[in-house]
């Protein structure tokens, strides 16, 4: 079985701070990590590899330092890694990102499964996985909290707000992972030694290697743009109404809500 896992290097915070002047994300002093959902996606690929044998390739698009994230994946047990890094990719929105990833998947050749995280904690759109499946014209199962493979059939429980549904499809397919899927393993000592050594198995591809035109990726190929980003002001302190009996407190609350034209 061939499995490709798409991973993203993200800032280690779920409270992205925005520079109010420039509207861009403040990255200084914020360490980078492997996106949490992507760790679950990789763990699932490694479990399948442990159970039935599989070749696991990790794929990311990012700046040169994203290689550190790929090394972490290799140290967890991935077989090889591809870094898409080229100035032409800069400023890609989800549309352009999925375009570059799809070209890389085609270049990698056949696969049975693509695993992605549900959502990256910085961009937060949850669009890249489904877009990639659409571009490759394969089935997708999103929000997977369990995954089983039986020959060429993949079956997942999809987490919903009020329960779950069981969805089954044929491979090749793309699955987006959520944290309920599994508990990611730690990097092994041997894995760290090999992955962070001089001969780490990481290929670096630019636009020319993907056989696509530079106009299909990057800022110019990105139909979405963020006009303004800001952190909402903190909520003001609530008002406590603790005087009197329960009826009196309820009356005071109703009067206050009327005054505010809520009721
Ligand atoms: C505040 C802010 C403003 C931004 N403004 C702009 C803008 O104005 N214009 C612009 O073009 N872009 C902008 N971006 C960047 C861009 O929109 C996204 O970061 C990028 O396209 C990926 O989308 P996402 O992070 O929402 O990923 P999601 O769709 O949430 O990710 C889902 C999954 O897809 C996979 N994945 C996502 N990205 C990658 C990747 N690079 N490599 C491999 N796998 C991946 C991972 O498995 C991930 O778990 C901005 C980002 C932020 C945080």
What tens digit of pLDDT does each residue of 207-254 get?
Answer: 999 999 999 999 999 999 888 777 778 888 888 889 999 999 999 999
Checking 19-27 for CB contacts under 8 A at 24+ apart, the result is 20/230, 23/226, 23/227, 23/228, 23/229, 23/230, 24/229, 25/122, 25/229
Residue 237 CA to residue 234 CA, distance in Å, equals: 9
Q: For ligand 1, what atom is nearest to the CA of residue 125?
A: 26
Query: Does the CB atom of residue 92 touch ligand 1 within 6 A?
Result: yes
Nearest CA to ligand 1 atom 14: 93
Cβ atoms 174, 116 nearer than 8 A: yes
Query: Does the CB atom of residue 60 touch ligand 1 within 6 A?
Result: yes
- In terms of DSSP bridges, do strands 80-84 and 113-117 run parallel, antiparallel, or are they unpaired? unpaired
And the tokens for 108?
């990698």
Query: Does the CB atom of residue 91 touch ligand 1 within 6 A?
Result: yes
Of 129, 140, 138, 141, nearest in space to 166 by CA = 141
Flag residues of the chain having pLDDT under 70. Answer: 14-16, 22-23
User: Ligand 1 centre from 167 Cα, in Å?
Assistant: 27
| Model pTM score | 0.88
Q: For ligand 1, what atom is nearest to the CA of residue 94?
A: 21
Residue 153's pLDDT is 98
Residue 160's pLDDT is 97
User: Ligand 1 centre from 253 Cα, in Å?
Assistant: 44
User: Ligand 1 centre from 3 Cα, in Å?
Assistant: 22
């Amino acid at each position: 079985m061939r499995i490709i896992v798409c991973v993203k290097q993200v800032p280690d915070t779920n409270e992205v701070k925005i520079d109010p002047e420039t509207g861009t994300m403040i990255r200084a002093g914020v360490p980078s990590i492997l996106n949490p959902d992507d760790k679950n996606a990789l763990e699932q690929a490694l479990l399948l590899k442990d159970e039935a044998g599989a070749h696991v390739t990790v794929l990311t698009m990012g700046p040169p330092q994203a290689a550190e994230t790929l090394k972490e994946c290799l140290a967890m047990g991935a077989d090889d890694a591809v870094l898409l890094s080229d100035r032409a990719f800069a400023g890609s929105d989800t549309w352009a990102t999925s375009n570059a990833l799809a070209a890389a998947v085609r270049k990698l050749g056949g696969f049975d499964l693509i695993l992605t995280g549900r959502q990256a904690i910085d961009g937060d759109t949850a669009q890249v996985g489904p877009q990639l499946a659409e571009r490759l014209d394969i089935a997708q199962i999103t929000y997977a909290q369990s995954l089983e493979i039986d020959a060429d059939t993949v079956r997942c429980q999809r987490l919903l707000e009020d329960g779950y549904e069981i969805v089954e499809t044929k491979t090749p397919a793309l699955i987006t992972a959520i944290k309920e899927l599994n508990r990611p393993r730690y990097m092994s000592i041997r894995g760290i030694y090999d992955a962070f050594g001089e001969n780490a198995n990481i290929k670096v591809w630019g636009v020319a290697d993907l056989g696509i035109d530079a106009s299909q990726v990057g800022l110019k190929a990105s139909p979405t743009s963020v006009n303004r980003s800001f952190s909402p002001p903190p909520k003001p302190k609530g008002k406590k109404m603790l005087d009197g009996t329960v009826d009196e407190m309820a009356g005071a609350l109703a009067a206050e809500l009327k005054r505010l034209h809520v009721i």
